[in-house]
Amino acid sequence: MKEVYSIDDLASRERLDEGADQPARLAVIGHPVQHSLSPQLHQPALDEAEAGMRYIRIDIEAGRLADALAAMKDLGFLGTNVTVPHKFEALAACDELDEGASVLGAVNTVLFEDGRALGFNTDGPGFGLAVREEFAVDLKDLRIMIVGAGGGAGRAVAAQCAREGCERLILVNRTLEKAEQLREELAHFFHSERLEGPGDRLVVAPLDSPLLPEEAGHADLIVNTTSLGLKRTDPSPLPGNCLQPHHLVYDTIYNPPQTRLLADAARAGARTANGLSLLLHQGALAFDLWFPGRRPVDTMRRALAAALK
């Protein structure tokens, strides 16, 4: 058994399952993928459900995703999770997409059914559940500022906020053009029945805007979807004067557990949460797609706590 498998290991069942007592039928594919916690999240839930299968990591280079999915389908995989950098490529490689994956423009979960690859996105709905769990509020009731509305995570979170009908969405990004592009794509969610434009319910701002503290002041929830914070030495993506006691601050980063942003927010008196709850809920929702009716949140929560100890 290996920590990380390659596309060559998908050549045959014998090769893939050498030395293992159960067949690999689920996986996370990414590049790199060795740090993914998905096996630790899913395997205890699979064992509890007596599913009789392994969940493995497969490192697939960009451009080879369709080949990997085809090989997995031939080997009788039940499905797979898809992570960076394949979430967009997976969109094109699937035979069918659910509405969430189409709207979010990315696939993070695949179900193989009747010889077809069905693509879903549980990151968006998982984010909604995570915010509900952490802060006991629904996205639809919030004015939300997304910092990093240019990357994959930012797009998924923003699209989910728009889908759930949030009161106001402020898309902030270092590169303004990417936030503007996203604004175009999401504008239709903010048109009222009277066919008005999105007005000030959907706005964009560059990260260095002098108006950022004022814009932040009008937000209830601030979400970091930039990669700033992954390294312990990283600065906060947001100037400290943007944070106020009334804020709910969610960082999609979970490792390290407290980024500079979250430390600043806590110091400002805001309520904070890290991305562990998003990891948990997107995983439980994926499990439910593979095993309908089963959402092993508690088992997965314990598994994550053990994995991160």
Q: How far apart are CA 282 and CA 285, in angstroms?
A: 5
For ligand ATR, give the closer residue by CB, 17 or 264: 264
* Binding residues with ligand ATR: total (CB under 6 A): 16
Instruction: Tell whether residue 209 is a contact of ligand ATR (CB under 6 A).
Output: no
Q: For residue 92, count CB atoms less than 10 angstroms from its CB and return exposed for 0-12, middle for 13-18, buried for 19 or more.
A: exposed
The reply to whether 296 sits near ligand ATR by the rule CB under 6 A is no
Cβ 97 to ligand ATR, closest distance in Å? 19
Can you tell me which of 23, 105, 151, 239 binds ligand ATR, judged by CB under 6 A?
151
What's the CA angle centered on 300, arms 295 and 302, to 5 degrees? Answer: 140
For the chain, state the CA radius of gyration. 20
- Comparison of 86 and 301: residue with beta carbon closer to ligand ATR: 86
Contact pick of 31, 174, 191, 271 for ligand ATR (by CB under 6 A): 174
Q: Which of residues 25-54 bind ligand ATR (CB under 6 A)?
A: none
Q: Which residues are catalytic?
A: 87
Helix ranges, 75-189 (H):
87-93, 99-104, 123-135, 152-163, 176-186
Rounded least distance, CB 108 to ligand ATR, Å:
12
Compute the distance between CA of residue 187 and CA of residue 164 in angstroms, rounded to an integer.
Answer: 13
Select 37 or 84, whichever has its Cβ closest to ligand ATR.
84
Q: Which is nearer to ligand ATR, 212 or 297 (CB)?
A: 212
Residue entry with tokens 């508690």: 298
Residue of 40, 102, 227, 244 interacting with ligand ATR (CB under 6 A): 227
d(CA 78, CA 150): 32
Six token digits for residue 103: 């709207």
Strand order in the sheet with 221-224: 202-206, 168-173, 143-147, 221-224, 248-251, 271-274
Which of 16, 28, 29, 153 binds ligand ATR (CB under 6 A)? It is: 153
Among 178, 183, 247, 295, binds ligand ATR (CB under 6 A): 178
Per CB under 6 A, 154 contacts ligand ATR: yes
- Cα dihedral: 21, 22, 27, 32 (round 10): 0
User: Could you say whether residue 277 binds ligand ATR (CB under 6 A)?
Assistant: no
Site track for ligand ATR across 97-116, x = CB under 6 A? --------------------
Q: Which residues of this protein are in contact with ligand ATR, per CB under 6 A? A: 84, 148, 150-154, 173-175, 178, 207, 226-228, 237
